[in-house]
């Protein structure tokens, strides 16, 4: 089982190089990450975007553009469409977001004519390496689904479980994270958590163990769970943190990155191909990790079909 982002990059190296289609590629961190991926031997790239800006940035950072085909498309929405179509046409295996709003690239991914939609729900999966823990954490959904209902959360869990399986974890523990660890009729997230646990017991969410409701502390810390008298044997051992809505997910994501200095990766899953999608404020290292994660998912995971 892959337990660090360095191990993730090494695992992808063993599977050979693939092609990225980068939308709105005129961004320093994106180009640095893409070139690092090339030097690691895990990916090459087709750069779609404003060619003069791409060349200016590459020259400033000594990035050799001779290795990369460039498709000049200064309009960011059209750059997204052209990058997505490259994957749709089999000319690339993964789409990567450049310097463009998430909503713009997702519109292209979901486009009925040239898009990549396959499953009923696409969702964002963030992967974190947090100091002091012996495992990677999957956090979902922090960037796409705003306020999913129980059925939406089932799809989000299935997508995240596919990622955990690709990482070599055959039976990940999914914690339905709430503000409290008891069902409270006044707190809808706890009711959803109970419903998801029951769905797991009934076999609707195979390949994982769903626990909850759990607060964040007793989802990741066995000591906190024991201190609170929680008798769920899976409390404190979560591999996947299922957040109740986009606000809580996004806050946790950015807290881990900017306050805990955790290393991370981020992708959209559930489509015909993964989409490398990080915050525009994320580092080139985070973007490289995201490329590696997307390549691993592409090689091992099958999206949920409609």
Q: How many CA atoms lie within 13 A of 269 on its CB side?
A: 37
Give the integer Cα–Cα distance in Å for 214 and 16: 40
How is residue 304 annotated by DSSP?
Answer: P
Q: Which burial class, exposed, middle or buried, applies to 156 when counting CB atoms under 10 A from its CB (0-12, 13-18, 19+)?
A: buried
pLDDT tens track of the chain, all 306 residues? 999 999 999 999 887 788 999 999 999 999 999 999 999 999 999 999 999 999 999 999 999 999 999 999 999 999 999 999 999 999 999 999 999 998 999 999 999 888 898 878 999 999 999 999 999 999 999 989 999 999 999 999 999 999 999 999 999 999 999 999 999 999 999 999 999 999 999 999 999 999 999 999 999 999 999 999 998 999 999 999 999 999 999 999 999 999 999 999 999 999 999 999 877 677 888 899 999 999 999 887 544 444
User: In this predicted structure, what is the pLDDT of residue 305?
Assistant: 45
Question: What is each CA distance from 101 to 3, 156, 250, 293, in whole angstroms?
Answer: 31, 22, 15, 21
User: In this predicted structure, what is the pLDDT of residue 56?
Assistant: 97
Rounded to two decimals, what is the model's pTM? Answer: 0.91
Tokens of 272: 């015909």
Beta strand 263-269 with 275-276 is antiparallel
């Amino acid at each position: 089982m892959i337990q660090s982002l360095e191990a993730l990059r090494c695992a992808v190296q063993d599977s050979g190089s693939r092609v990225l289609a980068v939308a709105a590629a005129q961004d320093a961190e994106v180009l640095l990450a893409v070139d690092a991926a090339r030097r690691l031997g895990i990916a090459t790239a087709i750069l779609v975007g404003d060619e003069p800006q791409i060349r200016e940035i590459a020259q400033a950072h000594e990035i050799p553009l001779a290795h990369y085909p460039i498709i000049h498309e200064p309009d960011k929405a059209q750059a997204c469409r052209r990058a997505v179509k490259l994957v749709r046409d089999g000319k690339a295996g993964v789409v990567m977001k450049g310097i463009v709003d998430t909503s713009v690239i997702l519109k292209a991914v979901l486009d009925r004519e040239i898009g990549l939609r396959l499953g009923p729900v696409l969702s964002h999966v963030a992967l974190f390496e947090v100091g002091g823990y012996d495992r990677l954490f999957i956090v979902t959904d922090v960037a796409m689904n705003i306020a999913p209902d129980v059925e939406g959360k089932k799809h989000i869990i299935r997508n995240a479980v596919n990622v955990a399986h690709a990482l070599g974890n055959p039976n990940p523990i999914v914690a339905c994270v709430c503000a409290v660890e008891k069902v409270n009729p006044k707190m809808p997230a706890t009711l959803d958590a109970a419903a998801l646990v029951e769905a797991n017991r009934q076999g609707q969410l195979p390949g994982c163990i769903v626990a909850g409701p759990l607060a964040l502390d007793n989802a990741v810390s066995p000591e906190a769970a024991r201190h609170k008298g929680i008798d769920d044997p899976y409390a404190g051992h979560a591999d996947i943190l299922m957040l109740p809505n986009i606000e809580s997910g996004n806050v946790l994501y950015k807290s881990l990155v900017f306050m805990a200095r955790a290393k991370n990766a981020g992708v959209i899953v559930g489509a015909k191909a993964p989409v490398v999608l990080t915050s525009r404020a994320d580092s080139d290292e985070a973007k490289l990790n995201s490329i590696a994660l997307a390549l691993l998912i592409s090689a091992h995971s099958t999206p949920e079909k409609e």
